[in-house]
Amino acid sequence: MRRILKAEFYKLWRMKSFWGLLVISCVLSCILLLDGSPPAKSLDVFNHILYTAPLLYVLIMIFGALFIGSDFENRTIQSYISAGHKRGHILLVKIIVHLTGCISILCLPLFAGAAAGCMLFGITSASLSALFLKSVLAIWIICAMAMLPCLCGFLFQGVGKALTLPLVLFFVMLFLLNGRHYPLVAAVLPMGQLRLLCFDQLTSLNVFLTNFLWIFICCIWAYWNFSRTDLK
């Protein structure tokens, strides 16, 4: 397991599309930051970028389809199995590296904005504590968001279908989050929780439990399908 984990991380750092998505994420976050009133304090910068982060969900959907779906098309997964690695270990490694990539794509502009805000406006100890807590919760929510493209990658085992369904669901979720039942939907969907987190409308326990449930269901579903798939 250690060898394939090392190989997957090496592949991630050598993946041009990953670095391209990282740059696009930073550029789009800067553009979206210009929308609205100028921030007055460091925490405002963080909250603004956090509020627009759900719009960048598409980027980690693309990353998931390329990172996992292409491994089935290129028969990398099949070669791991042929080499004697357990499917559970392969799944765990892919999830770990996939989550690392997704967190990097969405959190780099978030943390860069927070650092810039601290340098421009300064920060109090109370704001620093709030910033740290929100950062931890945001990472946990992003992990839950990232499990959808990861699950689709293991269900469809190809780039095309692994990208199509998450994109369809993305627009469905956007529609629901702009509907009359927005508070209820946002409290359940990880994508909506990022926005509620900006306005301090979520408790830490709610964030942890809801997103743990999403992650757990996606992991079990992915393992159940992957362990029973006849890879040819």
pLDDT, tens digit, for every residue of 83-107?
A: 888 999 999 999 999 999 999 999 9
Output the average pLDDT for the chain: 90
Give the pLDDT of residue 205: 92
- Average pLDDT of span 28-54: 82
Query: 37 is in which domain, residue-wise?
Result: 2-227
Predicted TM-score of the model (pTM): 0.93
Greater pLDDT, 189 or 114: 189
- Asked, for residue 23, whether it belongs to a domain, the answer is yes
- Asked, for residue 222, whether it belongs to a domain, the answer is yes
232 pLDDT exceeds 70? no
Give the pLDDT of residue 13: 94
180 pLDDT exceeds 90? no
Report the domain count for the chain.
1
Contacts 24+ apart (CB under 8 A), 172-179: 177/54
- Average pLDDT of span 101-114: 92
- Asked, for residue 232, whether it belongs to a domain, the answer is no
144 pLDDT exceeds 80? yes
